Structure 1
């Protein structure tokens, strides 16, 4: 049961991070008029930082005193997840008669969620 609760917490944290990512990207791109790629990087960075803090405290209840190393691991897992997401969308969508972009993105999100959860549980917060 603890694993199911942890997965739910991880998922809720991810949804909150997604809202931060989209919100910050929109704010910086549309209102502050920052370059869209810079705005996207800011949104991603804020979301990753938020997700690390919430997952550290709430999901995995880490007491690791070496939070800098732990955050670095979390960031690496997140960047690998971003790369996997992009590759999966490309593979599912770009093939001849490939899946609709959003169907491909849906599958990518599910696969990367599993990757991120397992990698963080077994590597970052072990």
Structure 2
């Protein structure tokens, strides 16, 4: 770069998302489908614990409305999932374009999850299993959408 050209390091840009440190070399070859599915499910399980745990506490203990509680818990759960999936499941380098694509995907799955959860919660009788069953149906639907789009599109973005 010549002295007359400005340094690109000083141009304003969107910050990268928070990174989770790993010891594995992220440049290793991409993982096969079976390994990605297993890792995605493990990560999803952990993220679902974060999501449902917070959802349950916000509805049952704090007394928030179902859709408000689900909105907050969704953000916590999906943030957990993205951070782990990017580094461990899909072994992807940091990318602003990918991060923006994930935000768009999560906005879509947010609508699916919160909407479907609300519909299922209202459709079921007022029994002890209503809250967890509505959650599982909404979570399962969003999980399938997330895996397919992340594997086929988002983690192929450079």
After superposition, residues 16-95 of structure 1 pair within 5 angstroms as 16-66=46-96, 68-76=99-107, 78-79=109-110, 82=113, 86=116
1: distance between equivalents of 2:93 and 2:136?
34
**C-alpha distance 35-11 of structure 1, shift in aligned 2 (>3 A):** same
Structure 1: runs of 5+ lacking an equivalent: 94-101
Output the TM-score relative to the length of structure 1. 0.67
Give the helix-richer structure, 1 or 2. Answer: 1
Deviations 1:64-116 (A, max 9, x none): 33153143144146337638x93xx98xx9xxxxxxxx99x988876654432
The higher relative CO (CA closer than 8 Å, separation ≥ 6) is in 2
Report how many residues are paired.
115
Q: CA shift at 1:17, angstroms?
A: 1.3
Q: Confirm or deny: 8 A CA contact 1:81 1:112 kept in the other structure.
A: yes
**C-alpha distance 37-114 of structure 1, shift in aligned 2 (>3 A):** closer
TM-align CA RMSD:
3.6
Partner of 2:150: 120
**C-alpha distance 113-32 of structure 1, shift in aligned 2 (>3 A):** closer
Runs of 4+ in 1 over 6 A off after TM superposition: 105-111
Output the TM-score relative to the length of structure 2. 0.55
3-state SS in 1 of match to 2:35 = helix
Q: Confirm or deny: 8 A CA contact 1:81 1:116 kept in the other structure.
A: no
2: distance between equivalents of 1:117 and 1:23?
22
Partner of 2:7: none
